[in-house]
Structure 1
Amino acid sequence: MNNQGTILLQSQKDIKKITFLELDLKYFVPIFIIVLVAAYTGSLPKGMIGAFGLMMVFGALLDYIGNKMPIVKDYLGGGPIVTIFASAALVYYNVFPKAVFSTVENFMKGGGFLDFYIAALIVGSILGMNRKLLIKASIRYLPVIIGGVLVAIVLTGVVGSLLGYGFTKSIFYIAIPIMGGGMGAGAVPLSQIFGQALNQNPTDLLSVMVPAVALGNAVAIVVGAFLNKLGKKYTSLTGEGKLLKNFDNNTVDEEKESKLSDLKELGSGMIIALSFFIFGSILSKFIPMHAYALMIISVAIVKALNLMDKKYENYAAKWYQFIAKNFTSALLVGIGIAYTSLAQVIDAFTITYLILVLTTVIGAVIGTAIMGHFLGFYMVEASITGGLCMANMGGTGDVAVLSGADRMELMPFAQISSRIGGAFMLILTSLLINLL
């Protein structure tokens, strides 16, 4: 066989290996075509079936494309960013009939899919953490995160005021979304909190926040690579992957995921997550804080005080893993269609906006480095985990930042920043919104 034939045969084998939603192409392509035909012929069912079907297939496709695009996959967040903005572009260019977009929007907002996802994410991720790690992190690591958040917020507010963007506007629309833990558990619930407190449309608010989160993620990845080089030049600043001085990293390993032994466990995990969400909604009637924030506090207390049997914590963690693995891309399609106005994103993208994004990320690095130094942390590692992993896009951003910084062993701490740090930002925002 000649070289061309060998190359062609290899290409065919590579194509056969491509899967979407764990489906081979010969199954996924017909499903995709069915959804397209339904969308264009007005046959797409209204409600959950039509919306979920479209979101699932487009989410899988766009996520795959984003994770294969050069530069985008390495520096701009890959699949999540492409999924959000490509979905928003579908609306901007009227690719589908308006009824299709209305179906998705109703499912995301009126149907409560967003709240359903967030409940699983927050409850499962916190209950699934190692309890000792959670307590130790709260005592020694959380102050480092807070230091980065405060410097980032104040510095961005000051620079925003000097540039004429506004002190408060710079803080709430740029600094806080960037430091909020990504899209699904950060910018989206933040827009809900802002919308409720300010009596504004969350969609309009999210359109301003989304580019901040995207740019912040890209900047965090680049800065992570820079800090790695800085540590090689000034070795006293880094522990070469070790965060705390005189600290045994083996004590912070997260517990391994247990295998799913019974499908009923997913049902138990779901009702646990939903119950915490409902409990947060009840508390919000009596406490002037958003239901998300109150849910977070409730879950953290239950976990820290060891009030729930371990097996039920595992059920909630498994439910979170199931939702995150299967529905995240679909959720991002919904965010792009229902919550992201591409026209407003374009209008928000200015030189001033870019400067403020840079200021936020740099402020996070400075704040965590200083606070980390005083608490016995290595400055480079503190800045990467407590600063950059707060300023990125959550889980995918953690991988990108730590990979660029050559610090993948710090993933447990990065997850604390994304989970607990992001939760802290929701609580802080609920308090600040009433003060400012």
Structure 2
Amino acid sequence: MKKKYFGLNLPMLLILAIIVFIATYLGVLSKDLAGGVALMFAIGIILYEIGEKIPFWNTYVGGGLVLAFLGTAVLCYYKVIPEEYVELISSVNSKPMGVLNFFIIMLITGSLLGLNRELMIKSFAGYIPAILGGVVGAAVLGIIGGLFFGVSPANTVLKYVLPVMGGGNGAGAVPLSQIYERVTGDAAANYYGFAISILTIANIFAIIAGGLLNKIGEKNPKLTGDKKTLMRSAPEIGKGEEKFTTQIKDYTGAILMGLTFYQLGRLIADKIWDPLVPSVPIHPFAFMIILVALANGLGIIPGSLRQAAKEVQSFFTKNIVILVMVGVGVETDLHELVAAITIGNVIMALLIVIGAIIGSGLVGHLVGFYFVDSAVTAGLCMANRGGSGDIAVLGAADRMELMSYAQLSSRLGGGIILVIGSILFGSLM
């Protein structure tokens, strides 16, 4: 039987991709959602399949998904993709079209509604300590590295650890720089420029570490679970629960439900939380996670709709993820990364990521989590570039179904870092 590439045989894949590429270079590819998605799939599927076949890379670095991400970033760096279509892909992935947000919303909805209720409650209760364990571990190893390179502990924490562990760019580095300006009187740009550089380096290490942790889990099964849950003593999923069948129309209902949960999260974040606590912004995804978890815990979502949400999530995880990884690659500025690369910055960023892994993994183990899964979600998903970083890390770690926990790290964990930053900027600077 001939191998299929996302349902296509090799000649058909090449013909379709060549047509899209010719249209791109002649400037006739439509500059809308249809054209952007066609180009993203043509690039993504080819890079994915190549990445799955490269020895060592496919085993330890993250395989096809990571090559789709980094390969696209390289294509943009060397201007292989025409600038007008780089902008198109970026607009499809982020603003104004927002496929990335759509992807995350579907993963959060499906992964939370697919969880056993008892398991969900227990795992959420231990998750904040696991996040804090990662922050402490990152700070300890970061400070050790800083002392070696002549950076004071205060500067290490404020300029290296906080940006890396802050939940990404928009939810971390940007508000941290604004807090810095308000507290110190110095321009926010002076903090942000360095912070985003360190965060970019750490993000690459976090993605590679995700692939390595996945391999460690495969070689040491006691350190990981089924890649869908965190708890070591988790009840068997589906045991004693009624089985539900779905119809095609259920998928539409599940998608509308997930999108509505997100809009409700935005309403709470913008109209209730921000006016009450303007100094500590919390992303709508954090409130969405709480709302979906409550809905699951209270049992108010019909079983067929929960099953449909789970199946929609599975489709997005296995297929739309290729699209998103290309979009993330386009939005990764390798010029920024190259400019920040010094021996000191690289080693300190690496130590912070390792510290996050050790701290979150150990604390996670103490509260009943698997070491690898806790390290990936509570550790690496704090030490990356937020939503896009979460997708890249989970893709490399083959744990896309843990998106809800990853978003808790990026959003609620990022909020914790902003609180810590507000205190430390005033006391250490």
Deviations, residues 413-434 of structure 1 (Å, cap 9, x unaligned): x965x53254244212134325
Match of 1:327 in 2: 320
Q: Does 1:300 align with 2:293?
A: yes
Deviations, residues 82-105 of structure 1 (Å, cap 9, x unaligned): 111211122211113222112112
Distance 1:262 1:155 in 2: 52
Identical columns (%): 24
Going from structure 1 to structure 2, the CA distance change for 1:325 and 1:415 (only over 3 Å counts) comes to: closer
Q: Any conservation in 2 of the 1:142–1:421 contact (CA below 8 Å)?
A: no
Distance 1:78 1:212 in 2: 19
Q: Any conservation in 2 of the 1:194–1:433 contact (CA below 8 Å)?
A: yes
Match of 1:26 in 2: 11
Q: Does 1:194 align with 2:182?
A: no
1:134 Cα shift? 0.8
Q: Does 1:111 align with 2:124?
A: no
Distance 1:104 1:248 in 2: 40
Match of 2:305 in 1: 312
Distance 1:174 1:384 in 2: 20
1:273 Cα shift? 1.2
Distance 2:77 2:9 in 1: 31
Match of 2:335 in 1: 343
Q: Structure 2 counterpart of 1:251, which letter? A: P
1:196 Cα shift? 6.0
Match of 1:352 in 2: 344
1:58 Cα shift? 1.1
Among 379, 383, 386, which residue is 2:374 paired with?
386
Among 121, 135, 139, which residue is 1:154 paired with?
139
Q: Does 1:133 align with 2:133?
A: no
Q: Any conservation in 1 of the 2:142–2:352 contact (CA below 8 Å)?
A: no
Distance 2:209 2:394 in 1: 16
Match of 1:272 in 2: 257
Query: What SS is found at the alignment partner of 2:115?
Result: coil
Among 41, 51, 54, which residue is 1:66 paired with?
51
CA RMSD of aligned residues (A): 3.7
Q: Any conservation in 2 of the 1:398–1:415 contact (CA below 8 Å)?
A: no
Going from structure 1 to structure 2, the CA distance change for 1:277 and 1:36 (only over 3 Å counts) comes to: same
Q: Any conservation in 2 of the 1:155–1:363 contact (CA below 8 Å)?
A: yes
Q: Greater shift after overlay, 381-390 or 318-327?
A: 381-390
Q: Structure 2 counterpart of 1:331, which letter? A: V
Distance 1:228 1:49 in 2: 39
Going from structure 1 to structure 2, the CA distance change for 1:254 and 1:390 (only over 3 Å counts) comes to: farther
Unaligned runs of 5+ in 1: 1-12, 178-189, 232-237, 400-410
Distance 1:315 1:204 in 2: 44
TM normalised by structure 2 equals 0.75
Query: What SS is found at the alignment partner of 2:235?
Result: helix
Distance 1:150 1:295 in 2: 24
Distance 1:425 1:278 in 2: 19
How do residues 48-63 of structure 1 correspond to structure 2 at under 5 angstroms? 48-63=33-48
Q: Any conservation in 2 of the 1:147–1:368 contact (CA below 8 Å)?
A: yes
Query: What SS is found at the alignment partner of 1:23?
Result: coil
Distance 2:7 2:248 in 1: 19
Q: Does 1:423 align with 2:408?
A: yes
Q: Does 1:251 align with 2:243?
A: no
Distance 2:397 2:352 in 1: 17
Q: Any conservation in 2 of the 1:80–1:332 contact (CA below 8 Å)?
A: yes
Going from structure 1 to structure 2, the CA distance change for 1:134 and 1:317 (only over 3 Å counts) comes to: same
Q: Structure 2 counterpart of 1:311, which letter? A: S
1:271 Cα shift? 0.6
Going from structure 1 to structure 2, the CA distance change for 1:222 and 1:250 (only over 3 Å counts) comes to: closer
TM normalised by structure 1 equals 0.74
Distance 1:99 1:297 in 2: 39
